[in-house]
Amino acid sequence: MTLKRGAPTRGTPRGQPRVQHGGHRTRIDWFLAILRVTVLIVVGVGLLAFIAQEINPDNPFARWANPDATGLTAAQIRGLVVSGVAQGSMYGLIALGYSMVYGVLGFINFAHGEVFMVGAMTGMITSNKLADAGLWESNFIGSLVFIVVVSIIVSTLTAVVMERVAYRPLRGAPRLIPLITSIGVSFFLQNASVVLLGPASKSYPDVPDWVKAKHTFLQVEGGKILVVVVAAASMAALWYYVDRTKTGKAMRAVAEDAEIAALMGINVNRTIVKVFAVGGAMAGMAGILWGILFRSVIHTTGFLPGIKAFSAAVVGGIGHLGGAMAGGLSIGVAESVGPLVILEPLGVSGVSQLRDAVAFSMLIIVLLVRPAGLFGERLPGEDRA
């Protein structure tokens, strides 16, 4: 019998990437394929045009793409990358919370961005009180440690209360229900901040010169170095906690299979609370870093970083801690560098307005190209398959 319809013959290697639902391409598959190729071409041409304009802005290719091409100086590029890394490491810290909760409970805690906002707000209040007392100037590092501790406590409490009040009663509900609830929690926290603290944006007290000024070392602002160092240290501490301690082992067990973990004598509820607490602490830490770096907070501060951090968690592979950090860095760098390196050389005007659009596009592209993220997903048992 002959094989029809161009089906692969017996033994043909079929290892090449398959379309999600088999090799038979539907119209949607074609559309997606075209979309992917278009995105690749845009990114590729943009990069080439950027390289061309870096070599010489008068180069015909660069002129063709963007008649007003000026090119960036090395210092500008370095500046962009460094801001991207600094911001990205904050995204990474927030992403840890998303990633851990998703890994254990299998739902997106939409309100996690608001925990970050609560951390930043707490830092703002505490630091301003310290500044009023004169301690902020006289002992900056000590004050910093103090506001970090306070803000971590408050944001941890926020996360834990949130879990207790809004999510625990919904354990086992259809999976979109807790997601919708978390949207409500997020909305509530944002607007609670408006009614309690007022709708205006509020600022942190002035920081010492060494935080603001560019350092001789690498020509980078001290604040950004501080952010990266603190983020790395928190990440290391978290890794130790999850990978080496008994509690961490319990968390991983619950993430693997909550029911079996319970049978093995692990207190699942307590473990889940700890997951929220740890995620909240990381978000609180990120909130302080945000405040130090940008010095201004408002009730919507948590929204965009929250979404981007979630994107970071997905990009890195949800449920994967190292992946969250890597995803955060890539989102941070992409949104900081992407507009100027890919869109500007293509003649798009006002690219800085499209920062957020770039970050969202990156999420969409990653989900289209590699839905499991860079490092692969780790999901609760029932969500696999």
Partner 1 sequence: MSNASDAAATAAEPILETRGLSVDFGGLKALDGLDLAVYPGEIVSIIGPNGAGKTTLFNAITATAPATEGDILFEGESLIGLDPNRVTSRGIARTFQNVRLFANMTVLENVMVSQHCRTRQSVVGALLWTKAFRREEQEIRQRAEEVLSYFGNRLVGYRFDQPAFTLSYANRRRLEIARAMATQPKLILLDEPVAGMNPTESAELTGLIGRLRDEWGYAIVVIEHDMEVVREVSDRVVVLDHGTKIAEGDYADVSMDPQVIEAYLGRDATAAS
Partner 2 sequence: MSAGATPAAATTSAAVGAAAPPRPVFAQDWRRIARMGAVAILAQFFISLSNMPVRLDGRTLIEGLLSLGYLSLVIVPLAMSHRVGQQVRREGVPYHAAGAHEIVGGALGGALAGGGLSLLAILLANFDLREPLVNWSPILADLLAFGRGTAFAVFIWLVIGAAVGAAAGLLRVLHPVARRVLWTMVLTVLGAALLESLVEDLAEGMGIDALTDWFYASRGGLTPIGALVGAAGVGVLAFVARGRVRKARARIDQLEGSARQRAHVMLIAGTGALLVILPMFAGKLTNELLANVGLFVLLALGLNIVVGLAGILDLGYVAFFAVGSYTAAVLTAATSPRINPELPWFVALIGVVIVTGLVGLFIGAPVIRMRGDYLAIVTLGFGEIIRLLFLSDWLSGWFGGSQGITNIPGAEIFGLAEVAGTDPRSVFYLVLAFCAIAIYVSWRLERSRIGRAWMAVREDETVAEAMGINTVNVKLLAFVVGAVLGSFSGAIFSAKVGSVFPASFLVLVSIVILVVVIFGGMGSIVGVIAGSAVLIGVLGGPKQPGLLAEFSEFKLLIYGALLVWMMLSRPEGLIPSARRTRELHQEEMAQDAWLAGQVDDDDGNTNGTGGTADRSAGASA
> Is the distance from CB of 373 to CB of 318 less than 8 angstroms?
yes
Taking CB under 8 A as the rule, does residue 18 contact partner 1? Answer: yes
Q: How far is the CB of 6 from partner 1 (least distance, A)?
A: 9
# residues near partner 2 by CB under 8 A: 63
Backbone conformation region of residue 64, classed left if phi is above 0, alpha if psi is from -120 to 50, else beta: alpha
Question: 265 forms bridges with which residues in the sheet?
Answer: none
Taking CB under 8 A as the rule, does residue 191 contact partner 2? Answer: yes
Taking CB under 8 A as the rule, does residue 185 contact partner 2? Answer: yes
Q: Of partner 1, partner 2, none, which one sits near residue 184, judging by CB under 5 to 8 A according to partner kind?
A: partner 2
Q: Of partner 1, partner 2, none, which one sits near residue 11, judging by CB under 5 to 8 A according to partner kind?
A: partner 1
Which stretch, 16-24, 81-89, 183-191, 216-224, contacts partner 1 (CB under 8 A)?
16-24
SS3 69: coil
Taking CB under 8 A as the rule, does residue 1 contact partner 1? Answer: yes
Compute the residue count for the chain.
385
CA distance 2 to 246: 60
CA distance 111 to 297: 17
117, 119, 173, 175, 289 from 131: Cα distances, Å: 21, 18, 47, 46, 17
Q: How far is the CB of 214 from partner 2 (least distance, A)?
A: 30
Q: Of partner 1, partner 2, none, which one sits near residue 190, judging by CB under 5 to 8 A according to partner kind?
A: partner 2
Which stretch, 48-56, 80-88, 193-201, 278-286, contacts partner 2 (CB under 8 A)?
193-201
Query: Whole-angstrom distance between the N-terminal and C-terminal Cα of the chain?
Result: 35
Answer for which of 348, 370, 372, 374 binds partner 2 (CB under 8 A) is 348
237, 345, 383 from 82: Cα distances, Å: 23, 21, 37
Eight-state DSSP code of residue 205: P
Closest CB to partner 2 among residues 50, 310? 310
CA distance 279 to 284: 9
SS3 84: helix
Closest CB to partner 2 among residues 52, 124? 124
# residues near partner 1 by CB under 8 A: 16
CA distance 96 to 277: 12
CA distance 49 to 66: 8
Answer for which of 1, 74, 141, 195 binds partner 2 (CB under 8 A) is 195
Element at 202 (helix H, strand E): strand 202-203
Taking CB under 8 A as the rule, does residue 384 contact partner 1? Answer: no
Taking CB under 8 A as the rule, does residue 27 contact partner 1? Answer: no
Taking CB under 8 A as the rule, does residue 22 contact partner 1? Answer: yes
The torsion of the CA quartet 192, 197, 198, 200, rounded to 10 degrees, works out to: -120
Closest CB to partner 1 among residues 10, 246? 10
Taking CB under 8 A as the rule, does residue 17 contact partner 2? Answer: no
Taking CB under 8 A as the rule, does residue 8 contact partner 1? Answer: yes
Helices (H) and strands (E) in the chain, counts: 15, 2
Q: How far is the CB of 378 from partner 1 (least distance, A)?
A: 15
Taking CB under 8 A as the rule, does residue 90 contact partner 2? Answer: no
Query: What is the contact surface with partner 1 in residues (CB under 8 A)?
Result: 1, 3-5, 7-11, 14, 18, 21-24, 26
Query: What is the contact surface with partner 2 in residues (CB under 8 A)?
Result: 20-21, 26, 28, 31-32, 35, 107-108, 125, 128-129, 165-166, 169-170, 172-181, 183-192, 194-198, 303, 307, 310-311, 314, 348-351, 353-354, 356-357, 360-361, 363-364, 367-368, 371, 382-383
